[in-house]
Structure 1
Amino acid sequence: MAKKLRDLDELFKGRHVERELIILCVRWYCRYKLSYRDLAEMMVERGLHVAHTTIMRWVQRYVPEFEKRWARYARKSGRSWRVDETYVKVRGRWVYLYRAVDRDGNTVDFRLSPKRDVAAAKAFLRKALRTQGRAPTSITLDGYAASHRAVRELPGENPAWRNTKRRSSKYLNNLIEQDHRGVKSRIGPMLGFKNFDCAAITLAGVELLHRIRKNQFAIGRLRIKDQTPSAIWSAVLAA
C-alpha cells in the first residue's frame, strides 16, 4: 500500500518562512534560469532575507515531496517512445541523463546514471515501465549498441516487453533531442553539480516543471478557480 502523504502543515513544520515562499523559491529555481543567489536577491524584494544555501536545502528537501503530490495527477504518455541520453556534469565529470518522450513530445520518464551501458539503459527502461504502468508498443533509439541490446534482452526478464518493437532512426529521434534542450537550457546556468544525489533531485525538479509546462497533469477535477501558478500549486499540494 502506498504511504500516505503527510499533511502540508506537518511537511513545513518548523520552518520560519511562509510555505508559499518556500514553494515559490523551489518552483522558480527549477523552472527559470536563476541561480540560488539570484533568488535570494529577489526574495529581499518580498521582505524575505534568506541565504542562497537555504534555498538550495529547500530544493533538496521538497522536490521529492512535490514529485509525489503531482504524480497523483500525471497523465499516461503515449506508447511510442523515443529514447536518448544527454550529458550532465557532476564534480567535473560527465554523467548521463536518460530520457524518453512519446510521439507527441510528452515526457515518459528520465533517470540520471553515472554510466552509459546496458545496465544503465535497462534501469531506465524498468523505471519508465513502473512510471507508466505499461510497456510501449515501439521504442525508437539512436545507433548506440548498448541501448539496443537492453531492449532486446528485456523481454526475457519481463513479459510486458514482448510486444515492444525496436527501431533505429536518427530522424524520428529528433523529437527527444529537441526536448533535451528544454531541460539543458535550465541546467546550463547551474554551472555543474557538486554531488550526484543532489544533481538527481535537482534534475527531478527541472523535469517536473518541464512536464507541468507541457500540461501533462490532469488537475481539472480539483476545480481550481484561481488559475495563477501559485494557486494551482497550493491546490495540488494540499489535495
Structure 2
Amino acid sequence: MPKPVSYKRHRFPPQIIAYAVWLYFRFPLSLRLVEEMLLERGILVSYEAVRRWALKFGPDFVRRLKRKRPSRRDIWHLDEVVITIAGQKHWLWRAVDQDGYVLDEIVQARRDIKAAKRLLKRLLRRQGSPPRRMITDKLGSYAAARCHVMPRVEHGSHKGLNNRAENSHLPLRKRERMMQGFRSVGGLQRFTSVFSAVRNLFVPPHSHRSALATHLHRLQAMAAWKGAAGVLA
C-alpha cells in the first residue's frame, strides 16, 4: 500500500487542493480559469499555486487509483498523433482497449519501427499479458514491431477499424488548445499520464448507457478520487 498523501507545509486544506487538481485535469480549463472558479467559492488561490499542486499531487493521486484489470480477451487499439513542441514535431503513441480505456502512452521523437516496438514492450510489461487482437492504422511500423514483440497476436490493420484509438486523441487536443501548446516533452508526458488516468476514472464505459448508470459511475469515481487524495469525509 502506498503511503498516505502528505500535505505538510501547505497552508490550504487537503480538500481544496484535491478539488483544484481535479478541476484542472478533469475539465478543459486553464490554470487561470481554475483560479477564477475557486474564487467564486470564496477561495483566494493564485493560478501559480494551482500549477504547483497539479505537478506535485496529480501523479501522486493517480498512483493510488486502481487500474482496470487486464484480460487476454482485450483488444488493443494503437495510434499515434503528432504534437509540435518548441517548433519540433513529436509523436504521442497511445494504446486504448475495446472500451476506450487508455492503457499507456508515450511521447517519442520518431514514427518508426523502433518507436512502435518500444510502445508494445511497455504495454506488455504494464498489462502482464498480450491481447487477443491488436488493431492499428496502415502504418507499417506496427506490423514489423508486432512480429518482433508478440508475433502470435492477431493484427488488424485498416483505417476504418481504428476509430476508437483515433477518437482518444480528441480530449487531449482540446486541452492542448486551451493550454496554448506544451512547452517540453517531459511536460507533455507528465500531463498526459495524469490527464488520461483521470479520464479513465470518470468517463463511463460504453456499456453504461442509461442516465442512472452514468450517474452512479460518476459518484463512484468521485469517491475513488477522494480516497486517492486522502480527503474522504
Please give the TM-score of this superposition, normalised by the length of structure 2. 0.83
Equivalent residue for 2:159? 170
Tell me the equivalent position of 1:195.
Answer: 184
Q: Name 1:214's counterpart in structure 2.
A: 203
Q: Does structure 2 retain, via aligned residues, the 8 Å contact 1:183–1:210?
A: no
Q: CA deviation at 1:150?
A: 1.3
Aligned partners of 1:31 and 1:186 also within 8 Å? no
CA shift at 1:173, angstroms?
0.6
Looking at structure 2, the residues matched to 110 and 237 of structure 1 have their Cα atoms a distance apart, in angstroms, of: 24
Query: Is the counterpart of residue 146 in structure 1 residue 141 in structure 2?
Result: yes
CA displacement 1:172-192 (0-9 Å, x = unmatched): 112211222133223321111
CA distance in 1, matches of 2:222, 2:140: 45
CA distance in 2, matches of 1:101, 1:94: 23
Contact 2:61–2:225 under 8 Å retained in 1 = no
Which of 27, 32, 48 lines up with 1:32 in the alignment? 27
> Structure 1 residue 228: deviation in Å?
7.3
> Cα distance, 1:23 vs. partner?
1.3
Give the match for residue 116 of structure 1. Answer: 111
Unaligned runs of 5+ in 2: 206-215
Aligned residue for 1:136? 131
CA distance in 1, matches of 2:229, 2:52: 19
Shift of residue 207, structure 1, vs aligned partner: 0.5
| 2:201 alignment partner AA | I
Q: Residue 10 of structure 2 aligns to a residue in which SS? A: coil
Partner residue, 1:76: 70
Q: Give the partner amino acid of 1:31.
A: R
Question: CA–CA distance in 1 between the matches of 2:124 and 2:51?
Answer: 31
**Equivalent of residue 97 in structure 1, options 92, 99, 104:** 92
The list of structure 1 runs, each at least 4 consecutive aligned residues, that deviate by more than 6 angstroms after superposition, is none
RMSD between aligned residues: 2.4
Deviations 1:155-212 (A, max 9, x none): xxxxxx2421222111111221122213322332111111221221111121012211
CA shift, 1:16, in A, is: 1.2
Classify the secondary structure of the residue corresponding to 1:173. helix
- Deviation, structure 1 residue 49: 2.2
- Structure 1: state its 5+ residue gaps: 155-160, 217-223
**Number of aligned residues:** 219
C-alpha distance 177-135 of structure 1, shift in aligned 2 (>3 A): same
- Per the alignment, residue 233 of structure 1 pairs with 225
Displacement of 1:15: 1.0
Structure 2 CA distance, aligned partners of 1:76 and 1:228? 20
Cα gap change, 1:92 to 1:30, in 2 (>3 Å): farther
Q: TM-score of the superposition, structure 1-length normalised?
A: 0.81
Correspondence for 1:184: 173
Asked if the contact 2:95/2:165 (under 8 Å) is kept, the reply is: yes
1:219 aligned residue: none
Report the Cα distance in structure 1 between the residues aligned to 2:7 and 2:104, rounded to whole angstroms: 28
Q: Which residue of 2 is the match for residue 49 of structure 1?
A: 44
Deviations 1:136-158 (A, max 9, x none): 1221121112222211211xxxx
Q: Are residues 178 and 119 of structure 1, via their aligned partners in 2, closer, same or farther at CA, if it must alter by over 3 Å?
A: same
